[in-house]
Amino acid sequence: MRIARAAEYMGMSVVGVRKAAREGRLPCRVSAASHPDLPKHPCDYRSLTPTDIHSGVHKCQRSVDAKTAVRTGKPYLVQELPDDGREVHPDDPEAADAYERLRLRSAMVVPLLGRGRVLGLVTLSTQFPYGRRWTQRDVHLASDLAGRAGLAVDNARLYEVERAAAATLQHSLLPALPQVPGMRVAARYLVGADGNQVGGDWYDVLPMPDGSVGAAVGDVVGHDLSAAAAMGQLRGVLRSYAWGGDAPGPVLDRCDQLVQGLDIAAMATAVYARFGPAGPDGARELTYANAGHPAPLLRDPQGRLHRLDAHHSPMLGAVPEFGRATGAHRDGATVPCAAGSLLVFYTDGLTDIVGEDADARTELIERTVEQLPSAADPERVVERVLEVCLPDRLDDDIALLAIRLDRPA
């Protein structure tokens, strides 16, 4: 590009440009220099801010300054910059000396436009003795390039806004863990690091009126605002059905019927477990059903690990036969849980890693839980699992829930 070859310096300011313009300051960092003998530490050269470059010529060009470019969204050109740094920085000898060493000749400031708004400024400068004067033709070309760059910046900004909104929604829909007599509970939720990886992972713990306790973990397919919204709906639906006292299998069946009947989500995985009321020794009977979700782990007081994978069934929304009241039904499984038992739920953000074996990741989680101290607190459990099993790159959301049955005092 002719502009890229001709400019010795290019500076750009993007974040907070409107506020900066109102305050009379437009910070601008050098992002490119075309010659190796130019200064390598742009942060030391304050003369590269648009306001500073033109502070020495504002007397003859009062209508032209960086604030005007931000306010009007129009580029402007100064074909000849002052030679004497004292004109630009009359009260700062060090800055004046730096300006003179830069030997700036000509400059133009071009707004970065995105969907009708000014997102920032690009400053292009030439340098004596070989730099030429910019012309209006150069300004037209630079404006076209800045317009394309501004659209890319605005797309990235809108993308981040949607991701932040989805993350906020998702966090707001996740419950505060309740205090349950005879139980200790801990949970973690981590948002995927990739910009578009905000999804529908969730967990829930629900004390029932009869002394039983429901626990659920699920994952709505998708990684966007819709998935986060669908997660909130599905969690609320499951809560309402669980509160009615239904067994885990029928609870998931009714959720499946609603998912398919009302198009709440394309598909979702979920596991719902119900701890019966505690006996005199603190033991509880655990009944669970699973709709395509990673199997929970149960570690008994003797340290033996059990994968709760009986009666695995399809994901919610995946099979039309499960979406009808007269269709197929999910079966539940029941296991005894003595006091001191530990139950761990997790989502596939810990196992489904690109380039890695999901079975090996599952075995890593199981070994980690099995090797924990026998009396490990649930907070320590979730911290240790994440410490050992968290992938190097967190591309997907992760929900993790740990429940320990306490022994009677």
Per-residue pLDDT at 3: 53
Q: How far is 10 from 21, CA to CA, in rounded Å? A: 19
- Report residue 358 as tokens: 């999901």
Cα-Cα-Cα-Cα torsion 241, 245, 249, 254, nearest 10 degrees, comes to -20
| Nearest alpha-carbon partner for 270 in 250, 246, 294, 287 | 294
Q: How far is 160 from 148, CA to CA, in rounded Å? A: 19
pLDDT band at 149 (very low <50, low <70, confident <90, very high): confident
pLDDT band at 48 (very low <50, low <70, confident <90, very high): very low
Report helix, strand or coil for 180. coil
Q: Helices H, strands E: what count in the chain?
A: 11, 16
Q: Is it true that the peptide bond before 129 is cis, omega within 30 degrees of 0? A: yes
Query: With contact defined as beta carbons under 8 Å apart, do 244 and 214 qualify?
Result: no
**290 Cβ partners below 8 Å, 6+ apart?**
270, 271, 308, 309, 311, 312, 313
Tens of pLDDT, residue by residue over 67-124, are 777 788 888 888 888 888 787 778 888 878 877 777 888 888 888 888 878 888 888 8
- Inform me whether the pLDDT recorded for 22 exceeds 50: no
Residue appearing with tokens 């009944």: 287
Residue appearing with tokens 């139980």: 183
Tens of pLDDT, residue by residue over 163-195, are 777 667 666 667 789 999 999 999 998 877 654
Tens of pLDDT, residue by residue over 252-310, are 999 999 888 887 777 899 999 999 999 999 999 999 999 999 999 999 999 999 999 99
- The residue that leads in pLDDT, 368 or 102, is 368
User: Beta strand 200-207 with 213-220: parallel, antiparallel or unpaired?
Assistant: antiparallel
Q: How far is 223 from 195, CA to CA, in rounded Å? A: 10
Residue appearing with tokens 């036969």: 321
- Inform me whether the pLDDT recorded for 44 exceeds 60: no
End-to-end CA distance of the chain: 77
Phi, psi of 124 (to 5 degrees): -115, 130
